[in-house]
Chain A
Amino acid sequence: MSAISIKKLNKFYDSNHVIRDASIEIESNSFTVLVGPSGCGKSTILRMIAGLEDVDSGTISIDGNVVNSLHPKERGIAMVFQSYALYPHMTVFDNIGFGLRLEGQRKHEIEAGVSEAARILKIEDLLDRKPRQLSGGQRQRVAIGRAITRKPKVFLFDEPLSNLDAALRVQMRVELAKLHDQLDATMLYVTHDQTEAMTMADKIIVLDKGEVSQAGAPLELYNSPKNSFVASFIGSPTMNFLKARAVAVTKGSVTIKLLDDLELKIANGDTAVSVDDELTLGVRPENLSLVQAPKAHCTGKVSVVEQLGSQTFLYLETADGPLILEADGSTKIKVGDLAPISFDVKRCHLFNKHHQKI
């Protein structure tokens, strides 16, 4: 059974339609990531699940019960805010124990709950401090500790790592994943960082302007994006897109012509396509390779070389448009060189003018 089931959810801010018919299924005990560019409505959905925003139409169910009109505390959820939202005047202990105290728990119960959370998050020695005496990562832990104590069925995270530096973010990602295994609870995690989404999620939901663009396992989205939005959003560096035109259509494949008349034959799916349609070819940097000149589809002039050690990204100018190519870490190629390029046609994607994959 789904832990959270959202059906045809809509939300307006005045006349601004920010969530459009969103339907989302989140499995029990999964780590689901809601991802999308800034302003696409991620926080809004999270806040509607939490009960901080009213629902204009549609339903939200948690564990099979419609919670649209329930008070947040009756929904069995806990939320971790991007800003941490720690109570600045309370010690870490009081911050973590606040929810228990509101529930009217006794002193020793609160102490037990707080030390349990502190133990899990390894912040036992911070309990007497005030939030302002903590580092960003420590604050983040306290915020999570506060969420843990009430033993919610569902954790909601709104970009919890975005205020941390890169190294700490990587570390916290691992810790959150561990915590998820440890806690046996459903986690819904909002981010606009696709790396976070890819590394942490059991399931990713991509949101585009208030609509669910695609939902699925990380690799499913990476390998079979349903549309150019998902294709471009998932993956880093982003997928290359080139203008193309269909020149021949057969069952199971389409032959396209690029700007410099290069023809490629690419496998397609079910979406109808006919000769002369304007298409977009999508190819990821790792599906382009440097080859010996005779085998090359085309050549590109190297404008930037980004050396990361294990791999090298080449920024190329070709007659078909700009391309990013992932090469070996040991490549000797330099700026200004002419690079012969080959497309892995089995790994190319075609999108029609409605941005749908064909």
Chain B
Amino acid sequence: MKQTVSLAPFASPFAGHVEMSKFRKFLPPFLLLSPSIVLLLTFVHIPAIHTIYLSFFSTPKGRRPSKFKGLENYQDMIADPVFWKVLGNNVIYAITTIPASIIIALIMAQLVNSALPGRPFLRFSFFLPVVLPLIAVGNIWLFFYLPGFGLIDQIGSLFGLPNTNILGSSETVLWGIVGVSIWKESGFYMIFFLAALQGIPRDLKEAAYIEGASNWQIFRRITLPLITPTILFISVIATINAFIRIEHLFSMTQGGPNYNSALLLYYLYENAFVFWDTAYAIAQSVFLIVLLSIIGIGQIFLMDRRVHYQ
């Protein structure tokens, strides 16, 4: 942009010439960018704007075509108790899974990064959940959770604990889903932390060690500040994931019983592709896009000041 500053602030006899050279200056970068601009416009921005536009219309049904409804879809959304319920579920889901999986991932990364015996095995077992599709993970955990003869009840019965019906009661079903998500996501985030930890020069820790820092102090004062960019990156990813990764709901609970484990996107899916109430689903999509944008931007903005970029 700096080059354009040289444009004279008065009407120059060479104005046409300057315009020409400005155009020449911009043309090559624009041409180079154009493939990605076209792709982004076609597949991201135009659909997003179109979605917002569609959210003001009703769902076409049978012989009744779609008609303009203004904000009615949004009013329906606000009046829908199920919407608030799944939004609440999603908030609980996010504020539990995100910190838990990040903390566990960091602990696992530290373990794997230290000189423990059996490191390759640890690395493999922590990473295993990552390579499994979430829908399959859901299936595996379905068996863990089975009342009476599932893994959890079998272990529990060794200690004389009563049987559970984790996915069959309203108080526990969401926690069952939360557990699966933490198990699945932690291994994934561990990879990023591991890369970040290995990027910290060994000298730094040794210098601190010689200066008398305990392991905890080294972690708290050296390691943690140096991996804040990774923590920020992961928390953005984790927040988005908490709102968009719902495959396990399909294999485990279908959002039930009575929406107790339904998340926003699952309810959106149900409205769109089970109830075929597309207009309502579109309004929810707009809500989800806005929500995620606010969260993402806010997170980066908020943490930027405390993040140390090397």
Point out residues on A near B: beta carbons under 8 Å: 50-52, 71-73, 77-79, 81, 83, 85, 87-89, 98-99, 102-103, 132, 146, 150
Most buried by B among A77, A98, A146: A98
Do A150 and B211 touch across chains, with their CB atoms under 8 A apart?
yes
Check B77 for interface membership: any CB of A closer than 8 A.
no
A85 touches which one: B203, B213, B217, B221 (CB < 8 A)?
Answer: B203
Check B201 for interface membership: any CB of A closer than 8 A.
yes
Q: Per-position contact with A for B196-240: 1 when CB-CB < 8 Å, else 0?
A: 000001011011111111000100011001100000000000000
B residues less than 8 Å from A98 (CB atoms): 208, 211, 213, 221
A sample of 8 more A-B contacts (CB under 8 A), given A81-B207, A87-B204, is A52-B206, A52-B209, A72-B209, A73-B211, A85-B201, A85-B203, A88-B204, A99-B211
Do A81 and B222 touch across chains, with their CB atoms under 8 A apart?
no
Task: List 7 A-B residue pairs with CB atoms under 8 Å apart, sorted by A's residue number.
Answer: A50-B210, A52-B206, A78-B210, A81-B207, A88-B310, A102-B211, A102-B212
A75 closest partner in B (C-beta): B210
Cβ-closest 8 pairs across A and B? A73-B212, A85-B203, A99-B211, A89-B308, A85-B207, A89-B225, A72-B210, A102-B212
Do A99 and B212 touch across chains, with their CB atoms under 8 A apart?
yes
Report the interface size class on chain B.
10 to 19
B residues less than 8 Å from A99 (CB atoms): 211-212
B residues less than 8 Å from A89 (CB atoms): 225-226, 308
Do A102 and B213 touch across chains, with their CB atoms under 8 A apart?
yes
Q: How far is the CA of A132 from the CA of B309 in the complex (A)?
A: 11
Shortest A67–chain B CB gap in Å is 13
B residues less than 8 Å from A146 (CB atoms): 207, 211
Q: How far is the CA of A336 from the CA of B27 in the complex (A)?
A: 61
Do A52 and B210 touch across chains, with their CB atoms under 8 A apart?
yes
Q: How far is the CA of A83 from the CA of B205 in the complex (A)?
A: 13
Q: How far is the CA of A67 from the CA of B310 in the complex (A)?
A: 36
B residues less than 8 Å from A51 (CB atoms): 210
Q: Per-position contact with A for B278-310: 1 when CB-CB < 8 Å, else 0?
A: 000000000000000000000000000000101
Q: How far is the CA of A327 from the CA of B178 in the complex (A)?
A: 82
Q: How far is the CA of A72 from the CA of B225 in the complex (A)?
A: 24
Shortest A323–chain B CB gap in Å is 43
Do A85 and B310 touch across chains, with their CB atoms under 8 A apart?
no
Most buried by B among A83, A87, A103: A87
A residues less than 8 Å from B208 (CB atoms): 87, 98, 102
Do A83 and B213 touch across chains, with their CB atoms under 8 A apart?
no
B residues less than 8 Å from A50 (CB atoms): 210
Do A88 and B207 touch across chains, with their CB atoms under 8 A apart?
no
B210 closest partner in A (C-beta): A72
Q: How far is the CA of A102 from the CA of B218 in the complex (A)?
A: 10
Q: How far is the CA of A71 from the CA of B206 in the complex (A)?
A: 12
Q: How far is the CA of A87 from the CA of B221 in the complex (A)?
A: 9
Do A88 and B308 touch across chains, with their CB atoms under 8 A apart?
yes
Shortest B232–chain A CB gap in Å is 14
Q: How far is the CA of A72 from the CA of B214 in the complex (A)?
A: 11
Shortest A101–chain B CB gap in Å is 9
Shortest A104–chain B CB gap in Å is 10
A residues less than 8 Å from B217 (CB atoms): 102
A residues less than 8 Å from B221 (CB atoms): 87, 98
Shortest B307–chain A CB gap in Å is 10
Do B211 and A87 touch across chains, with their CB atoms under 8 A apart?
no
B residues less than 8 Å from A103 (CB atoms): 212
Q: How far is the CA of A83 from the CA of B201 in the complex (A)?
A: 9
A88 touches which one: B206, B213, B226 (CB < 8 A)?
Answer: B226
B203 closest partner in A (C-beta): A85
Do A81 and B203 touch across chains, with their CB atoms under 8 A apart?
yes
